[in-house]
């Protein structure tokens, strides 16, 4: 099956009941939409207890974290149309294999928001008041009041790294404790910050001024080890660190180092680099408290996520689009085939714009010219928004929920059709407007050559939006390109292709390089040391 196509094998014909396998323990109340539907045959049974013949009859499977959805399992379920994860993380689901089989994967991205926020705050209170240690002491028959003197939250500056749904809920609770709030989120607009009542800050400002730092970002290449040797060294002596997001955002080896020398006052961890947690040395510090990845484990959260995926699966099997699809666009195959090339181009354009505009954004305008206007452009606009938002949020974004997430982030968007095509048969022109600057991108689809980016911020270029790219802004001076090439060679970075655009001789210019491997921050910093280079950043497509 074509892994690019959305194959919604669901049918609106409800004469035959849809068979759904619930393979992990879930809230009965949350499953009521399925259990009460006369269009569904709901089977609650572990996968291991289901025969291969029976597996082949199921249209949907609901899982939590215990069941692993593998290529092998998917091959045994030829009628499967949708996998639903009652929770956020999908590490136990082979997304590539699901896509290959045309199976939609959905999750419940916001069902446990409140539970996670509350657990984070419980960890903060427990850490500063030494509640777990005091409780253990009392249970051991001791009464050491002086040993467990804690600290008040009032007046302590709370630094929040990542300001999505969970970070926002934590901020609301912290205000009730009269805590000043510093927030690092590169995409937080001043308007949204003022509305919620927080102070936007750089990561260095948070590190230098926060008494307590809690992280709420996804685990990515950029956030892995975010609080490591260098950044923890920038924090205030006695800082408290909290991680109820993803294991690995705090470097555990670095954390042990700063706990041992007394720089870090304590840490509260619900997630670990390896789970179950195996680093006994870390857990044996008296000022470290840990919980076994239970931030989302409340009765209410489990009810919410079960109910959310139950409704999602039921609606999907009845022919409606999946609002929380992670791996496939929620379009019919017929519609998708018509817009496929522009759907994929617009998503890549959105992703590129998001990486280049690493600042708060207020508005996005998408302009269509030429033959693309004959299609349903609202679909490609939503695709562009999904591509733009995905690197910025800690949840899966698709063309269905992109508008809601954009609204939550204070980003407005719209589209219009024009006659101008810049000499191409079709063109998509996206303009992103931020608080401090704007950025533009134009793309086209050429039958013989595929998707192309033909203009970057007013400079004419022509490159394929894929692979490892380096975007450079510089002055058009002799020797700049030569020094750039020499520097990349010194770092063993091979240039595959290079596009150069300039406004006028000797004026502003850009380079777009396709290279053979992803470059690290040291290469980008070195590029900025070259005279006449003003901006350098990597783009991963």
pLDDT at residue 479 in the model: 94
Closest C-alpha among 329, 397, 307 to residue 86: 307
Q: Which of 222, 275, 376, 490 is catalytic?
A: 275
Paired residues of 473 in beta bridges: 510, 535
Residue 401 sits at φ, ψ, to 5 deg, of -95, 0
CA-nearest of 504, 519, 437, 428 to 472 is 519
CB atoms within 10 A of CB 128: 19
Contact 422, 369 (CB under 8 A): yes
pLDDT at 9: 39
pLDDT of residue 280: 93
Residues near 112 by beta carbon (within 8 Å), at least 6 away in sequence: 87, 88, 295, 296, 298, 301, 304, 305
Q: How far apart are CA 149 and CA 458, in angstroms?
A: 61
Tell me the Cα Rg of the chain.
26
**Mapped to the 3 state alphabet, what secondary structure does 450-501 carry?**
EEEEEEECCEEEEECCCCEEEEEEEECCCCHHHHHHHHHHHCCCCEEEEEEE
Catalytic residue among 85, 216, 246, 474: 246
275 is catalytic: yes
- Confidence at residue 330, expressed as pLDDT on a 0 to 100 scale: 67
The token pair that represents 381 in the structure block: 């606009």
Distance CA 183, CA 213 (A): 10
Instruction: Look up residue 184 and give its two tokens.
Output: 């690092």
Cα 234 to Cα 236: distance, rounded to the nearest angstrom: 7
CA distance 203 to 227: 10
Q: What residues have CB less than 8 Å from 374, skipping those under 6 apart?
A: none
CB atoms within 10 A of CB 417: 12
Active site residue 192: no
Give kind and range of the element (H or E) at residue 156: none
Examine the residue annotation and report whether 246 is marked as an active-site residue of this protein: yes
| C-alpha of 405 from chain center | 12
Strands 40-44 and 18-22: parallel
In this structure, the strands spanning 181-184 and 199-200 are parallel
Work out whether strand 508-515 and strand 495-502 pair parallel, antiparallel, or are unpaired: antiparallel
Q: Which two tokens stand for residue 324?
A: 């929380």
DSSP code, position 275: S
In whole angstroms, give the CA distance from residue 282 to residue 210: 23
β-pair partners for 434:
361
The vertex-231 CA angle with 271 and 166, nearest 5°, equals 40
- What is the pTM for the complete model shown? 0.79
| pLDDT score at 12 | 39
The first and second tokens of residue 31, run together, are 């499953």
Question: Mind listing the pLDDT tens digit of every residue in the chain (541 residues)?
Answer: 333 333 333 433 435 789 999 999 999 999 999 999 999 999 999 999 999 999 999 999 999 988 999 999 999 999 999 999 998 878 799 988 998 888 999 999 888 899 999 999 999 999 999 999 999 999 999 999 999 999 999 999 999 999 988 999 999 999 999 999 999 998 898 889 999 999 999 999 999 999 999 999 988 888 999 999 999 999 999 999 999 999 999 999 999 999 999 999 999 999 999 999 989 999 999 999 999 999 988 999 999 999 999 999 999 998 888 888 888 776 766 777 889 999 999 999 999 999 999 889 999 999 999 999 999 999 999 999 999 998 888 777 878 788 888 988 889 999 999 999 999 999 999 999 998 899 999 999 998 899 999 999 999 999 999 999 999 999 999 999 999 999 999 999 999 999 999 888 889 999 999 999 999 989 999 999 999 999 999 999 8
Which residue segments constitute the domains of the chain, with CATH numbers given? 18-109+300-326 (3.40.50.720), 113-290 (3.40.50.720), 329-466 (3.30.1330.90), 467-541 (3.30.70.260)
**Which token pair is 441?**
């991108």
Give residue for tokens 């655009």.
Answer: 501
Give the C-alpha separation, 240 to 287, whole Å: 10
Determine the Cα–Cα distance for residues 432 and 364; give it in Å rounded to an integer.
5
Q: How many other C-beta atoms are found inside a 10 Å radius of the C-beta of residue 182?
A: 22
DSSP state at residue 374 = G
pLDDT on residue 2: 39
* Catalytic, out of 119, 192, 293, 341: 293
Both tokens of residue 63? 């899982």
């Amino acid at each position: 099956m074509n892994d690019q196509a959305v194959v919604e094998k669901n049918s609106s014909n409800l004469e035959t009941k849809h068979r759904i396998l619930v393979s992990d323990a879930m809230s009965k109340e949350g499953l009521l939409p399925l259990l009460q539907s006369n269009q569904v045959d709901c089977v609650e049974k572990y996968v291991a207890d289901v025969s291969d013949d029976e597996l082949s009859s199921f249209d949907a499977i609901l899982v939590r974290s215990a069941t692993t959805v593998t290529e092998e399992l998917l091959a045994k379920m030829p009628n499967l149309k949708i996998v639903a994860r009652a929770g956020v993380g999908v590490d136990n689901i082979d997304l590539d294999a699901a896509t290959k089989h045309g199976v939609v994967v959905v999750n419940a991205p916001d069902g446990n928001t409140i539970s996670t926020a509350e657990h984070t705050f419980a960890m903060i209170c427990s850490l500063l008041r030494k509640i777990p240690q005091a409780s253990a002491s009392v249970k051991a028959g001791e009464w050491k009041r002086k040993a467990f003197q804690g600290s008040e939250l009032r007046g302590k500056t709370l630094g929040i790294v990542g300001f999505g749904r969970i970070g926002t809920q934590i901020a609301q609770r912290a205000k009730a404790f009269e805590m000043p709030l510093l927030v690092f989120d590169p995409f937080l607009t001043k308007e949204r910050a003022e509305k919620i009542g927080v102070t936007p800050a750089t990561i260095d400002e948070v590190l230098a001024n926060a008494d307590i730092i809690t992280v709420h970002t996804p685990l990515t290449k950029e956030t892995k080890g975010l609080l490591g040797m260098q950044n923890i060294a920038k924090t205030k002596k006695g800082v408290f660190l909290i991680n109820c997001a993803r294991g690995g955002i705090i470097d555990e080896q670095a954390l042990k180092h700063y706990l041992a020398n007394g720089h870090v006052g304590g840490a509260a961890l619900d997630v670990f680099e390896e789970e179950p947690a195996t680093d006994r040395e870390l857990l044996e510090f008296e000022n470290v408290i840990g919980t076994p990845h239970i931030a989302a484990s409340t009765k209410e959260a489990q009810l919410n996520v079960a109910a959310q995926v139950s409704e999602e699966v039921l609606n999907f099997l009845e022919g409606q689009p999946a609002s929380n699809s992670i791996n496939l666009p929620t379009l019919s195959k017929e519609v998708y085939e018509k817009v496929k090339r522009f759907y994929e181009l617009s998503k890549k354009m959105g992703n590129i714009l998001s990486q280049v505009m690493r600042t708060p954004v207020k508005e996005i305008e998408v302009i269509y010219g030429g033959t693309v206007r004959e299609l349903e452009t609202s679909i490609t606009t939503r695709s562009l928004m999904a591509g733009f938002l995905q690197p910025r949020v800690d949840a899966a974004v698709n063309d269905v929920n992109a508008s809601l997430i954009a609204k939550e982030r204070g980003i407005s968007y719209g589209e219009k059709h024009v006659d101008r095509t810049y000499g191409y048969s079709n063109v998509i022109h996206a303009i992103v407007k931020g608080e401090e600057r704007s950025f533009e991108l134009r793309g086209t689809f050429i039958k013989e050559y595929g998707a192309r980016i033909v203009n970057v911020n007013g400079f004419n270029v022509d490159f394929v939006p894929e692979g490892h790219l380096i975007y450079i802004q510089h002055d058009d001076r002799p020797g700049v390109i030569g020094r750039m090439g020499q520097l990349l060679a010194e770092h063993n970075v091979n240039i595959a292709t290079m596009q150069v655009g300039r406004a006028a001789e000797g004026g502003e210019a850009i380079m777009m390089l396709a290279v053979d491997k992803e470059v690290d921050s040291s290469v980008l910093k070195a590029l900025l040391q070259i005279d006449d280079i003003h901006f350098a950043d990597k783009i991963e497509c």
